[in-house]
Chains A and B, each alone.
Chain A
Amino acid sequence: MYSLDFVRPASLAEAVTALQAEDALPLGGGQTLIPALRQRLAMPGRVVALAALPELVGLRVEGGEIRIRGATPHARVAAEAPLPALARLAGGIGDPAVRHRGTIGGSLANNDPAACWPAAVLGLGGVVRVRGLAGPREIAADAWFRGLFDTDLRAGEIVTEVRLPLPLAAAYVRFRQPASRFALAGVFVARFAGGRVRVAVTGASASGVYRWTEAEQLLASDFSPGALAPLCVSAEGMLADVQAPADYRAHLVKVIACRAVAEAASGRTACG
């Protein structure tokens, strides 16, 4: 650790103002940022704490969407989300301490290539609302995630809300990386009215969360695991590290996608 300014704003507006200082970063649950500070991998001069702002915490259903505020901790989503796939995803992140501190906004701003939330937001085709000095902006998920630890978030902006359309059926299945327990491959599938299907994959690709459009097309006409049989996932562009080589991740993407489809199709919501 090292010395830095810790700002605890009383409102969102104050938070946005406090963030305009050079070298300032928002602090969500600190589950990623605090370890980075400790190891001196990030060295902001100021952090602006968001977790205690009531305007940024909570979730509700409105206009056919689930709206989750930016500093809502995973545990709250696990307990309250009306969509079982989301509750299960949030309930499977880290351990209880991580879930009670870590936030959806922090996870989306960070865009770790193995994180769970990006798969859900991309898989549901959600919208990320941010606020900066110039006011609010809305960014569609397809534009938000720009690659490894990279998003459309601009300096001085805060993720204030995530809006996720409610699907007919959805599931998130992940295969855990043995050490971190993040996703070695995680697949979020969602089926919407009119047969539209979205499939988002996390953990596997070296360029972060992505949509598996070939799978989406096949599933649109036959929403069953068997529909994916003709597909073969290439190892090119997959992550390779001490836990797994690229070809294994490529193999897993299909296995896990089949499991997610089976689960969504069966309407099973069991946790695991």
Chain B
Amino acid sequence: MPKDFGIGASSKRREDVRFLTGAGRYTDDINLPGQAYAAILRSPVAHARINALDTSAARAAPGVLLVLTGADVEAVGGLPCGWLIHSRDGSPMKEPKHPILAHGKVRHVGDPVALVVAETYAQARDAAEMIEMDLAELPAVIDMRKALKDGAGDVHEDAPGNLCYDWTFGTPQEETDAAFASAAHVTTLELINNRLVANPMEPRAAIGDYARHSGEHTLYTTSQNPHVIRLLMGAFVLGIPEHKLRVVAPDVGGGFGTKIYHYAEEALVTLAAKQINRPVKWTSERAEAFISDAQGRDHVTKIELALDAEGKFLALRTDTLANMGAYLSTFASSIPTYLHGTLMAGNYLTPKITVNVRAVFTNTVPVDAYRGAGRPEATYQLERVIDQAARELGLDPIELRRKNFIPADRFPYATPVAVEYDTGNYAATMDKLVEISDRAGFEARKTESAKRGKLRGFGVASYIEACGLAPSRLAGQLGARAGLFESAQVRVNAAGGVVVWTGTHSHGQGHETTFAQVVADMLGLPEDQIEIVHGDTSKGSMGMGTYGSRSLSVGGSAIVNATKKVIEKARKIAAHLMEASAEDVAFENGQFTVKGTDRSVAFGEVALAAYVPHNYPLEELEPGLEEQAFYDPSNFTYPAGAYACEVEVDPDTGKVEVLGFWAADDFGNVVNPMIVEGQVQGGVAQGIGQALLESCVYDETGQLLTGTYMDYAMPRATDIPMIGVDHSCQTPCTHNPLGVKGCGEAGAIGSPPALVNAVLDALNAGGHKVAHVDMPLSPARVWAAMRDAAA
């Protein structure tokens, strides 16, 4: 029986009432009295020295209140990077300053050059266009492979050769090389993980507000983590202490990672508001988002897999170039390293794994986490090379995976790449996948397609991710410059209702529903008695926000622990009210009872007593019923599973049609199955986008060729097939109180390799000997691959 409330129930998303009736309140919906508007002049070229900026006409233009250029903000700190990576030789990564307005040089198309504030947005924009930029263009460094060669030119003088770091990880190289030397078979693939633009529906926006009487700043911003922005902007960029800086992230229309980071515009509107003593709003246009939101992925990888004669994996070796873009965005350095290298074991027993990553500066928009963040890149390489090995050896790709899965009885399992998986059962999710995708019926479906002249293919991919970011001590040892705990406060009101503060942020994930289910379940109260509050640094003390599928596993654990504290205190109050000792008081379904008696008192009565402490143990207990908890996980969580995709390829045009997608995930325990299903489906839609449609392309001068939706192909509803989602295989997480693992990114991680494997299966089974096509598998690319294979 599915539950109808609490943990395990598919409760309807309460926030949807607000969103579907137009009552959502996004940053751009906020208008403050006296508000002025900002426009940003951005670099039209990828790389140039700024000889001069003439702002005189702009300053004199109608309505203009303020013009700032790089020279005006030279003293302001650069945008910080939150993770220090060390190269193999022990040297720290190159970390050139990331100024909030370009100074001396512009380094990518879209690099902010000046801020103009005026009475209206049109005036600000008109005036920005009047600024004369005298730019001396420099050769642009665009292609990573060329960027590392001599004479490529330097994006930053203080990062000569454009190398940010040269990182190695896992088994010592000689050991891995020795395993390769003894291998019966080696499969090699070179592939590109295509650069993506996140494209949340709501573009970024920020409003700076300043109260001269108190010296308090307020920043409204489209952020996934307002406390992190307060910390970074306050401490590193503008030097505003936390008690004088409030950051509000109201409703946010999708983030997908790109709204984690601290952006220049946030600091600029904060500065400008103080300078003109008026609120200042900036709202990104879509075209601006394409050249200023941090982008995702962009790896070039060579991966080699060594197998013995039985098809057992012996070793894995990778060499990756990771594009950082022109500056280090907030978490850029950690994505290709600790969120990528640590996952290269996948679901397999491979004993030797060496991962090499060189991070490269280029004259392109900065690159940072995008849904999955490093883990899709790891999974894609691994699951592609396994399929290729199966093809080369004439093995069934599912059987080859099964042969190498970490068996269910080997957990906890320490991989050669530093992490320890707590639980998992990869064979079980694969079995489930084979069942729900009707793999057995595929041959018949293929025959039917062939009758219509189409090539049908079936592909699978397993995946694992490290979620629940993050155990702070471990993260700190690996170079993180912040803690990665989460906090929660649970406040029980005197006369009804419970208000729960969480430091995570909901921007599509449905936390207001899921978290309420958890607390309702624990307190035995109806869900509508629980209110979830987030997104405002003035309402809760600390929070690290939402990314890395951490919100339920880390934020939810903090909520559970705070709720437990509330229950323990309430138990003592109840014991007092019932004249029993606390050890004898049980709590179930919202009632405290003295064990073995019929004496009971309801949770609500206890709450009232806590605030009207007439009959109350004041000597031992403070009045009130409000608790806080900070939770720092002891390990990552390891969601895993298997994805399948079925496609049809038109051999005349190369067009790929996705006929079906199936996901068998192990997320541990599931609080709201409907929301989990939605998260997986959304992730798969984005994965289909990456595999089939999306690609962010610069020409050799650094101009973005895909700067509008006419050229950047976003998936549409008609591109997405029915997606079968199953999460019945559950090996609960052993180290968090809910036993949950996180589900937000899985879909985007598991789906691209499954889709590409399906297309390659269709082509090869159809007689086209194609080993590889780079994403996105556009019709033109698939057609060219077939043509080249025939030649």
Chain A interface residues toward B at CB < 8 A: 1-3, 38-39, 175, 178-180, 182, 184, 241-245, 247-248, 251-252, 255
Interface flags, B764-791, vs A, CB<8A=1, else 0: 0000000000001011100110000000
Q: Is the pair B780, A179 in contact by a Cβ cutoff of 8 Å?
A: no
Asked whether B495 is an interface residue with its Cβ less than 8 Å from the other chain, the reply is no
Alpha-carbon separation in the docked complex, A242 to B712 (Å)? 9
Residue ID in chain B nearest A185 by CB atoms: B653
Q: Which residue of B lies closest to A247 (CB)?
A: B784
Q: Is the CB of A3 within 8 A of B122?
A: yes
Could you tell me if B784 and A242 are in contact, using CB atoms closer than 8 angstroms?
A: no
On whether the beta carbons of B695 and A242 are closer than 8 Å, the reply is: yes
Partner-contacting stretch, out of B157-165, B421-429, B574-582, B702-710: B702-710
B711 within 8 A of A: yes
B125 contacts which chain A residues (CB < 8 A)? 2
- Establish whether residues B653 and A244, one from each chain, have CB atoms under 8 Å apart when the complex forms: no
Given contacts A243-B780, A245-B780, contact A175 B709 (CB under 8 A): no
Bound: A14/B779 CA distance, A = 48
Q: Give the docked Cα–Cα distance between A179 and B653 (Å).
A: 16
| A241 partner, pick from B692, B693, B711, beta carbons under 8 A | B711
Query: What is the chain B residue whose CB lies nearest that of A2?
Result: B122
CA distance A188 to B285 in the complex (A): 37
Interface residues in B594-629 by Cβ distance below 8 A to A read none
A241 to B778, CA, bound (A): 12
What is the CA–CA distance of A248 and B125 in the complex, to the nearest angstrom?
41
A241-B705, A242-B697 are known; give 12 further A-B pairs, CB within 8 A: A1-B122, A3-B122, A39-B287, A178-B778, A179-B709, A179-B712, A179-B714, A180-B709, A242-B706, A243-B778, A248-B779, A255-B652
Q: Shortest beta-carbon distance, B303 to chain A, in Å?
A: 26
- The A interface, classified by DSSP as helix, strand, loop or mixed, is loop
Q: Measured between alpha carbons, how far is A2 from B127 in the docked complex, in Å?
A: 12
B713 contacts the other chain (CB 8 A): yes
Given known A-B contacts A39-B287, A252-B653, A255-B652, A179 and B710 have beta carbons under 8 A apart: yes
* Chain A residues within 8 Å of B783, by CB: 248, 251
Q: List 24 A-B contacts (CB under 8 A).
A: A2-B122, A2-B125, A38-B285, A175-B779, A179-B693, A179-B713, A180-B710, A180-B711, A241-B705, A241-B711, A242-B705, A242-B711, A243-B780, A244-B778, A244-B779, A244-B780, A245-B784, A248-B654, A248-B779, A248-B780, A248-B784, A251-B783, A252-B653, A255-B652
In the complex the two chains form, what is the Cα distance from A252 to B714 in whole Å? 22
Quick check: A2 and B780 within 8 Å, CB to CB?
no
How many Å lie between the Cα of A243 and that of B709 in the bound state? 12
Q: Which residues of B contact A178 (CB under 8 A)?
A: 692-693, 713, 776, 778-779
* Chain B 637-676 interface residues, beta-carbon cutoff 8 Å to A: 652-655
Q: Chain B: which residue is nearest A39 at the CB level?
A: B287
Q: CA A175 – CA B710 in complex, angstroms? A: 15
- Shortest Cβ distance from residue A252 to the other chain B in the assembled complex, whole angstroms: 6
Residues of B within 8 A of A (CB): 122, 125-126, 285, 287, 652-655, 692-693, 695, 697, 705-706, 709-714, 776, 778-780, 783-784
* Assembly CA distance A204 to B105 (angstroms): 40
Closest 7 CB pairs of A and B: A179-B713, A244-B780, A248-B780, A180-B710, A178-B713, A242-B697, A255-B652
Residues of B within 8 A of A247 (CB): 784
Give CA–CA (A178, B693) in the complex, Å: 7
Total contacts A-B at CB 8 Å:
55
- A255 CA to B126 CA in the complex, in Å? 48
Contacts of A242 in B (CB 8 A): 695, 697, 705-706, 711
Residues of A within 8 A of B710 (CB): 179-180, 182
Kindly state the separation between the CA atoms of A255 and B655 in the bound complex, as whole angstroms. 12
CA distance A243 to B713 in the complex (A): 9
Q: In the bound complex, how far is the Cα of B714 from the Cα of A38, in angstroms?
A: 21
Q: How far is the CA of A251 from the CA of B654 in the complex (A)?
A: 11
Task: Identify the closest chain A residue to B714 (Cβ).
Answer: A179
Which interface residue of B652, B692, B693 has the most chain A CB atoms within 10 A? B652
What separation, in Å, do the CA atoms of A252 and B706 have in the docked complex? Answer: 22
A65 to chain B, nearest CB (A): 33
CA distance A97 to B296 in the complex (A): 31
CB-CB nearest in chain B for A179: B713
CB distance from B356 to the nearest CB of A (A): 30
Q: Which residues of B contact A1 (CB under 8 A)?
A: 122
For A252, the chain B residues whose CB sits under 8 A away are 653
B285 surroundings in chain A (CB, below 8 A): 38
Q: In whole angstroms, what is the CA distance A247 to B787 when docked?
A: 11
| Nearest residue, chain A, Cβ from B712 | A179
Smallest Cβ distance from A1 to chain B, in angstroms?
Answer: 7
Determine if A179 and B779 form an interchain contact, defined as CB atoms under 8 angstroms apart: no
Instruction: Return chain B residues, CB-CB under 8 Å to A243.
Output: 711, 713, 778, 780
Q: B709: which A residues are within 8 A, CB to CB? A: 179-180
A39 to B286, CA, bound (A): 10
Q: B776 to chain A: which residues have CB within 8 Å?
A: 178
B711-A179 in contact (CB<8A): yes
Q: What is the chain B residue whose CB lies nearest that of A35?
A: B708
Whether the pair B705, A175 counts as a contact (CB closer than 8 A) is no
A156 and B706 CA atoms in complex are apart in Å by: 34
Q: Nearest Cβ in chain B — how far from A253, in angstroms?
A: 11
User: How far apart are the CA atoms of A244 and B652 in the complex, in Å?
Assistant: 15
CB distance from B454 to the nearest CB of A (A): 14
Q: Is the CB of B653 within 8 A of A255?
A: yes
Considering the complex, give the chain A residue whose CB is closest to the CB of B126.
A2
Q: Which residue of B lies closest to A256 (CB)?
A: B653
With both chains docked as a complex, state the minimum distance between the C-beta of B714 and any C-beta of chain A, in angstroms. Answer: 8
CA distance A245 to B787 in the complex (A): 14
CB neighbours (8 Å) of A180 from chain B are: 709-711
Q: Can you name the residue of chain B whose Cβ is closest to the Cβ of A249?
A: B780
For B779, list chain A residues within 8 Å (CB): 175, 178, 184, 244, 248
Q: How far is the CA of A58 from the CA of B608 in the complex (A)?
A: 71
Complex Cα spacing A59 to B394, Å: 62
Give the CA-CA distance A257 to B225 in the complex, in Å.
53
Chain B nearest CB from A112 CB (Å) reads 10
Question: Which residues on B sit within 8 Å (CB–CB) of A175?
Answer: 653, 655, 779
* Whole-angstrom distance between the Cβ of B197 and the nearest chain A Cβ: 12
**Closest chain B CB from A270 CB (angstroms):** 15
A133 to B692, CA, bound (A): 51
How far is B214's CA from A28's CA once the two chains are assembled, in angstroms?
53
User: Bound complex: CA of A251 vs CA of B784, how far in Å?
Assistant: 10
| A54 to B713 Cα, complex, angstroms | 37
Closest CB-CB distance, B652 to chain A, in whole Å?
A: 5
What residues on B are CB-neighbors of A2 within 8 Å?
A: 122, 125-126
* Minimal Cβ-Cβ distance residue in A for B784: A248
Q: Which residues of B contact A248 (CB under 8 A)?
A: 654, 779-780, 783-784
CB-defined contacts of A39 to chain B, threshold 8 Å: 287
Q: How far is the CA of A162 from the CA of B200 in the complex (A)?
A: 41
- Minimal beta-carbon separation of B93 from chain A (angstroms): 32
A241 to B126, CA, bound (A): 32
Expressed in whole angstroms, the Cα–Cα distance for A184 and B783 within the complex equals 14
How far is B714's CA from A241's CA once the two chains are assembled, in angstroms? 17
Nearest A residue to B709 via CB reads A179
Most buried by B among A182, A252, A255: A252
> Closest CB-CB distance, B708 to chain A, in whole Å?
8
Chain B residue numbers with a CB within 8 Å of A251 are: 783
- A1 to B652 alpha-carbon distance, docked (Å): 44
Q: How many Å from the CB of A193 to the closest CB on chain B?
A: 32
Residues of A within 8 A of B287 (CB): 39
How far, in Å, is A272 (CB) from chain B's closest CB?
12
